[in-house]
Amino acid sequence: MSDEERTARLPDAPEPADHFSWRVSAASWVGLLRRNNQDSAFSSPRVAGVADGMGGEAAGDLASMVAARRLWMAAANPLVSSLVGAVAAASSDIAALVQADKKLEGMGTTICAALFDGHDLDIVHIGDSRAYRWRAGKLKQLTHDHSFVQQLIDQGSLTEEQARVHPRRSLVLRVVNGTPIGSPDHFTESPQLGDRYLFCSDGLSGYVDSAAIRQAIAKPTLDEAVDAMLADVSATGAPDNVSVVCTEIVAQDDDLDAAPAKLWGAASSLTPPDDADETADIVADLERWGAKIPTEVAPRTPGARRVAPPPAHHRWRALIGGLVALVVLIGAAIGGLAWTRTQYFIGVADGNAAIFQGVPYKIGPWYLSSIEQISSVAVSDLPDYYATQVQAWNIRPSTMLAAQESLQTLKQQADACIAAREGLTPTVEGCP
């Protein structure tokens, strides 16, 4: 008998030396200013990732749930060798939901996720959620944002620091939204023992710099790393939802490989059934998972409720969140009103894009914003993506002049759609 035959007959041959498992820690927090959590996250021994939904309160939640559902299916199907198909399926699901309810039009989601087979990571990325690798004390950003400010950085017109305060920093150019613009970046990564990988929404990367992320991810345990990241976000005022999934490459471990999959954020309300039906009608199947499909999505109205982080790894996280919220409320009572007069955003007034001074929230019956200028740009004339950005208050100019420039940009987009609709120019993608 040859050595090869003898080895082949061994019933419990050891795994190859380069076969790994990963340990996972994750959290998703609504933040201090948002009313609801439109992020979703997913973690399992096979797949980990985040999705940041957009398109209004109900639609944003639903879009990220759709993405998390597809990540769950990919993790449950051993035949899936790439997440590219999961992203495409999520896009088809969103298209079907919009077809079923036109009020959901404009919703979309980022996706940043990895499928881990014990040897390599298969990574997909679309939008401005990010993946990082921490190795031997060094942090490397693995993904490249699909955003307006990232384009300016690539062109040398903007620095990373300037991008954090740019009025159009929330403008994402590629998302999963049921249209052809949703093709993701796709690449593989070969991990080493001890590597840590972070998948996060821009609620972390948009407000916490890479030096602080590097310091947090280097904490002794993953739970401590996640706690440190949320504490860093709290220190910035936590203006956005934030989701993080942190993994650590370890020697192959049967217990870790058998760990249950978990859903976080908006998707935490879902209870996946035992069978993952790839062919089911998306509306019926989401309801089977426990999702509440809105039959009517009303326009988003200003309002904010400051809340502390939900219970997570350590009780002190909730205490920190509560203390920070109290400080924010006290600060708002003292000087918040004056600060709001230095803020601007683009919203909707009488169906047109308008400049608002202040912030798009209210305390009790008092709105913290006022209309400064109503433009002639009808939101219904804008391409889908820009209309969504206006309706969701995602355009936040830093000055009145920058706000007027934003209106001019929107007018150019609307004029292009009108010209295309009247047959004067070729069709423009995303126009109504």
Residues 243-286: tens digit of each pLDDT:
999 999 999 999 999 999 999 999 999 999 887 667 678 888 89
274 neighbors 63 (Cβ within 8 angstroms): no
Q: How far apart are CA 320 and CA 288, in angstroms?
A: 37
The torsion defined by the Cα of 222, 225, 226 and 232, in degrees rounded to 10, comes to 180
pTM, whole model, 2 decimals?
0.67
Q: How does residue 180 score in pLDDT terms, banded at 50, 70 and 90?
A: confident
Residues 99-141: tens digit of each pLDDT:
888 888 889 999 999 999 999 999 999 999 999 999 999 999 9
Q: How far apart are CA 162 and CA 243, in angstroms?
A: 23
For range 285-298, the mean pLDDT = 75
Give me 421's structure tokens: 């609709």
323 vs 374, higher pLDDT: 374
Specify the long-range contacts of residues 12-15, CB closer than 8 Å, at least 24 apart: 15/118, 15/252
For range 288-293, the mean pLDDT = 87
Q: How far apart are CA 154 and CA 426, in angstroms?
A: 29
- The pLDDT score that the predictor gives to residue 182 is 64
* Angle 233-237-242 from CA coordinates, rounded to 5°: 40
Residue 201 has pLDDT above 60, yes or no: yes
Nearest to 242 by CA among 229, 251, 252: 229
Q: How does residue 181 score in pLDDT terms, banded at 50, 70 and 90?
A: low
DSSP string, 196-241: EEEEE-HHHHTTS-HHHHHHHHTSSSHHHHHHHHHHHHHHTT--S-
For range 141-165, the mean pLDDT = 87
